[in-house]
Amino acid sequence: MKKIEPNKLPDNYINIIGNEWMLVTAGTKEKFNTMTASWGGTGFLWNRPVVFIFIRPERYTYEFIENGDYFTLSFLGQEHKDVHKICGSKSGRDIDKIKATGIQPYFSESGNILFKEARISIECKKLYTDMIKEENFLDKSLFEKWYGGAHGNPHKVYVAEIVNMWVNE
Ligand SMILES: Cc1cc2nc3c(=O)[nH]c(=O)nc-3n(C[C@H](O)[C@H](O)[C@H](O)COP(=O)(O)O)c2cc1C
């Protein structure tokens, strides 16, 4: 893995987050969990390179993100869509996703979880978090569309600093 500056990535984040998808992973060497996500973004905030992700509180991964200071984002590429399908439909409460998918974890110097299969890995330190709130929607139809009926609870948004980023060569 080669370390790169966050602004040197040639990929278009709208495409890779929305179409390629990513794994959001948090926890410790001893116990961690990972899930597929396709909502989020990257940017520049408080003079730092940041990512932002949206996690529903019912996800098992949510507990790990809440309990630690860091999480990681792993982009596995289109060839690992099968991994994303498992990690995006099954819960770590019910299955061991590492065994089920065969992906190979390793750990950053800070002890955060990365995957050998990832073509891009981002280590993120949480800076800010808040729940999505119905009263704050200016386009009210979005709340009904994404949080009405059986959709699930509103997401919690996390803004996190990109502290390290690697690409697989
Ligand atoms: C393509 C795709 C994108 C997803 N994006 C998100 C997301 O951005 N936020 C979220 O909370 N759940 C998202 N999910 C759902 C979780 O990945 C799914 O509920 C997963 O089983 C949670 O696993 P866990 O309970 O082990 O954390 C997505 C699922 C898929 C298939």
In this structure, the residue with its CA closest to atom 29 of ligand 1 is: 88
- Cβ(56)–Cβ(80) under 8 Å? no
pLDDT tens string 90-120: 999 999 999 999 999 999 999 999 999 999 9
pTM, two decimals, is 0.97
Judge residue 26's burial from the number of C-beta atoms within 10 Å of its C-beta, 0-12 exposed, 13-18 middle, 19 or more buried: buried
pLDDT tens string 4-15: 999 998 889 999
Ligand 1 within 6 A of CB of 25: no
- Beta bridge partner(s), residue 65: none
Instruction: Measure the CA–CA gap between 126 and 44, rounded to whole angstroms.
Output: 14
Give pLDDT, residue 5: 96
Ligand 1 within 6 A of CB of 41: no
Mutate which of 15, 24, 36, 146 for ligand 1 pocket (most atoms within 8 A of beta carbon): 36
Mutate which of 38, 71, 113, 151 for ligand 1 pocket (most atoms within 8 A of beta carbon): 38
Contacts of 73 (CB under 8 A, 6+ apart): 22, 23, 24, 25, 40, 51, 53, 120, 121, 122, 124
Ligand 1 within 6 A of CB of 21: yes
